Each structure stands twice: as C-alpha cells, then as structure tokens.
Amino acid sequence: MKRALPWAAAFLLLGAVTVHAQAMLSPSAEACLSCHGPLPRPGAFPPLLTLDADATISAMVAFRSGARTGTIMNRIAKGYTDEEIRAIAEELAQIGLGTKP
C-alpha cells in the first residue's frame, strides 16, 4: 500500500460516511466498493476512497490500456468508457477523503 494514511484516521472518516455513501452513490460506483469499500480494519485491497478523482482516473486508464498491471483491475477497467470512469471517480472522491483537507 503506497498511501500511508493512518488506518484509524481513515476509518473514523469512512465510518462517518458509510450510511450516506450507501444512500447516495450510483450503483456503478457502489460496485467498486464491494472490494474497495470501508472495513473497520486494514484489509488487502488498496484503499480507493482516499484517492482524488484524478488519481482514480489515471489508474483506471492505465489498467485499461495495460500500462499498469494488476491481478484483477485490468479485466475490470476494460468495462468502462472514459466518461464512465470520470463519473465514478468524481462520485467516489466526493464521499471519500480525496477532496477533504
């Protein structure tokens, strides 16, 4: 995990958004959270809600083209257009920590 966000702090914030996150995200963005969603302790999947929209977009584009490899994200990223990636990334950044101070 590259981002050294302290998990306790991350969780406090994530915990606070969970209820609303479920109410407000589109089904497309929720699908990402099946793996990247909040968990009250560190997990194996890299955190997504800590990224800003641009970081998510560039990672997704790189997974889609194969410029970045992973165990599963290449297969998933190929299912989305640029516009869809942007919409999801912005939604996630809004509920996540990406846009927070």
Partner 1 sequence: MTISRRRFLQVGTAALAMPTVARAASPRVVVVGGGFAGAMAARSLAARGLDVKLVEPNARYVACPLSNAVIGGFRKMEAQSFTYQRLATTGVSLVAQALAAIDPVKREAVLTDGTRLPYERLVMAPGIELRFDALPGYDEAAATIMPHAWQAGPQTLLLRQQLEAMPDGGVVGMVIPANPYRCPPGPYERASLIAHYLKTQKPKSKLFLFDAKDSFSKQKLFQSAWERLYPGLIEWVPLSQGGKVVEVIPAEGMIVTEFGRQKVNVANVIPPQRAGVIAQRVGLADRTGWCPVHATNFESTLLPNIHVVGDAAIMGAMPKSAFSAHVQAIACATAIEAGLQGDDMPPYKLINACYSLISPDEAISVTGVYQARNDRLVDVEGSGGVSASDLSAEGRALEAHYAEDWFNRVTWQTYG
CB atoms within 10 A of CB 36: 20
Q: Which of 13, 17, 31, 87 binds ligand HEC (CB under 6 A)?
A: 31
Cα-flanking dihedrals φ and ψ of residue 81, to 5°?
-80, 170
Q: Where are the alpha helices (DSSP H) in the chain?
A: 7-24, 27-36, 53-65, 73-77, 82-95
Q: Point out which span in 4-12, 14-22, 28-36, 93-101 binds ligand HEC (CB under 6 A).
A: 28-36
Instruction: Check residue 3 for interaction with partner 1 (CB under 8 A).
Output: no
Contact footprint for ligand HEC (CB under 6 A): 2, 31-32, 34-36, 45-46, 48, 51, 56, 59-60, 70-73, 76, 88
